[in-house]
Amino acid sequence: MRNRARMVAFLGMMTAVSLVLSYVEALIPWFPSLPGVKIGLSNLVVLFLLYRSGAASAGTVSLARILLAGILFSGPLSILYSLTGGSFSFLAMLLLKKSKRFSSVGVSAAGGAMHNVGQILVARLVMGSDAVFYYLPHLLFFGTLFGALLGGATAVLLLKYPKQEKV
């Protein structure tokens, strides 16, 4: 980016968007039967940044959003879940993107799935019971599904904002 101040402002803005998306999706009464199923709207921003600004920017925004959302809305436990899920997800997405074999749809699908895997592992640690694994099929399915959908949405965004000096 042309200068640091611009970068900071831009990423700050992206974090804000991500945060708002995170909040909005928390408002959706989704599947009261199963906790942890969320669309992951805020990941849209992270994915977009991954493609346009690079891993460092995307990772920073993701981390900032997790911490802020945790402080503002949920709590320390939830931060732990999000951090684990988020890092698993981020790593998967980064690797897949680097391989250049997948489009944003596949990348995001894997990200979504890995996010939930990470969360289940934390849940296993926290709850100390193997019963949490009963959620795995459900979470994996929806993580993949929503990830793929988000990936599609991101693809559209990426088309609208082609690679240029902007970022």
Partner 1 sequence: MLREKRWLYDAVLILLLFSLAAGSLLFLFPREEGRAVEVRIDGELLQVYALDAEGSYALRGRYGSATLVILDGRASLHEAACPDKLCERRGELSKVGESAVCLPSRIEIRIVGEGEVDGYA
Q: Applying CB under 8 A, which residues contact partner 1?
A: 96, 101-103, 105-106, 109-110, 113, 133-134, 136-138, 140-141, 144, 148, 151, 159
Which one, 31 or 141, has the nearer CB to partner 1?
141
At position 163, the amino acid (one-letter code) is K
The whole-angstrom separation of Cα 95 and Cα 106 is: 12
Among residues 17 and 91, whose Cβ is nearest to partner 1? 91
Q: Report in angstroms how near the CB of residue 138 gets to partner 1 at its nearest.
A: 8
Tokens matching residue 105 = 């749809």
19, 46 in Cβ contact below 8 A? no
Q: From the CB of 113, what's the least distance to partner 1, in Å?
A: 5
Burial of 145 (0-12, 13-18, 19+ CB in 10 A): middle
- Residue placing its CB nearer to partner 1 in the complex, 77 or 95: 95
Structure tokens at 67: 């911490």
Q: How far is the CB of 102 from partner 1 (least distance, A)?
A: 5
